[in-house]
Amino acid sequence: MPICAGRWLPPEMEADAPGGAEGPKGELVLYVGLGQSLLALTPRSRPLGEKPGFVDPARAWVFSATGDPKVAGNPLADIPEEAFAMLYPHQRMGRSGPLTAASAEILSALGPQDLLLTVNLARRGAALSYFEPEGGTASFQNFQRCLERAAEIAGERGLRFTRTVVSWVQGQADARSIRRRYAKRLGLLVGDLEAAHLAVTGGVGRLYVCLSQATATAAVPAIGPALAQIDVARSRRDRVFVAGPEYMLERSDGVHLTPQAAVYLGALHGRAIARVLMGGTWKPLQMERAVVEGDRVVVTFEGGIGAIVAHDVGGQVAGGYRIGARAVPDLGFRWSDPANADARIVEVGIVGPRQVALRLSHPPVSVTGCELSLGFPPDIGLPEGFVAGDPSTGRGGCSMVRTVGDGARKLGLELHDWAIQQVIGASHGKDR
């Protein structure tokens, strides 16, 4: 029987060993999860996620004998070399975290001779600073060790190693951070991760960062990571992209994901990553522009898949939702006119596949300084997510705007793109 990175393969898997001598050379892609408990933990709640089994016995691998991407109980501490010594098939479990579902989606972008190595270095309660090179933890060094080990394995198997993907799911620990400060630090971290990747690959290839937008819990958009993460994605759009928001995911306790919500988040990350790895681009559902004509504002959306719709909460039955949002005024839109504090939205409706029309109580004399926000409703606060299948129990930022999707499903749940939380300026129709 052949040996794969120090591990004996069972007979039924011999023919599928990655990078076998008779097969064509392929690629090893390293996929690493960094962040907090939404990646690090999956609570013991029902219903469970996916049925147990291999993700792909020939192409999907981890360092843990359990088949889970986690390599250590505390990945902020120094992880011993032996933890990275052997490869094992990546396996689905009832309580698998998002990285497992994401890995399954990423494989669709890879060839039959390619190998996907998934590692979870997320840790509950971890602030952004913990992942920095001088953050006072061993996290960055552990990431470097993963890169070095991936390069070694690729060399052993006759594979190329030029691409690393990081899923960044973090924000609660930095909820009180100033937007500009968080954006600056996250941008620097992306640069450090990329430099570490290039140091191992000899300056060849690329590191990508896929993030999901942390749910805002404060009415002041200048506070917290939600908008800062979008700022980084826009400034580093060749490297950083946003899979979508997190507010629509069911929680076990208002914060941590249920097993099925974890699978859903992973599917969103994996779909976006697969699109990028195949040479395409990905944008979340987001406001592109807001054009004012009299007392009417026409909002145009871009990103995501499919036409937009208003999430229907009229038929919601408490206890029946895994993905959803509570009813919020005006679908989650809010208008701000510095010249008229009384100006507000009095009517909202979807008027096209990608457009929403708002009517204002007072038409702006000038659009200078006017802002349109989405996802910061008046009742914003804690808990950030809903529990017990009842979206009305959540108080985090949210909107009721989503896409109809393309029919793709996960665990029987349709994959919809929900609008990210956002604040944009407005323009006059005559200015376009």
Residue range 179-217, pLDDT digits in tens = 999 999 999 999 999 999 999 999 999 999 999 999 999
Residue 151 phi/psi, 5-degree rounding, is: -65, -40
Determine the 3-state secondary structure of 152 from DSSP: helix
Q: Which of 100, 223, 84 is nearest to 141 (CA)?
A: 84
pLDDT for position 315 = 54
Residue 432 has pLDDT above 70, yes or no: no
Model pLDDT, residue 43? 64
DSSP state of 204: -
Whole-angstrom distance, CA of residue 384 vs CA of residue 393: 9
* 106 confidence band (pLDDT: 50, 70, 90): very high
Q: Which amino acid is at 40?
A: A
Residue boundaries of the structural domains of the chain: 7-277, 286-431
pTM, whole model, 2 decimals? 0.92
- Total Cβ atoms within 10 A of residue 320: 12
**Interaxial angle between packed helices 259-277 and 98-106, expressed in degrees from 0 to 180 and rounded to the nearest 10:** 30
Q: In CATH, what class is 7-277? A: alpha beta
Percent of the chain with pLDDT over 90: 82
126: region left, alpha or beta (phi > 0 left; psi from -120 to 50 alpha): beta
Q: Where would I find the H helices in 250-289?
A: 259-277
Would you state the structure tokens that stand for residue 22, as one six-digit string?
């008779």
Q: How far apart are CA 257 and CA 43, in angstroms?
A: 7
Which pair of tokens denotes residue 134? 């001088």
On the CB side of 239, how many CA atoms lie within 13 Å of its CA? 23
Question: Coil, helix or strand for 65?
Answer: coil
Could you tell me the pLDDT band of residue 126, with boundaries at 50, 70 and 90?
very high
Q: Is it the case that residue 123 has pLDDT exceeding 70?
A: yes
pLDDT score, position 318: 56
pLDDT at 405: 85
Is pLDDT above 50 for 7? no
Q: At what angle do helices 225-235 and 179-201 cross, to 10 degrees?
A: 50
pLDDT digits (tens, 9 = 90+) for 255-290: 999 988 999 999 999 999 999 999 999 999 999 999
Strands 160-169 and 27-35: what pairing? parallel
Rg (CA), the chain: 22
Q: What is the DSSP letter of 246?
A: S
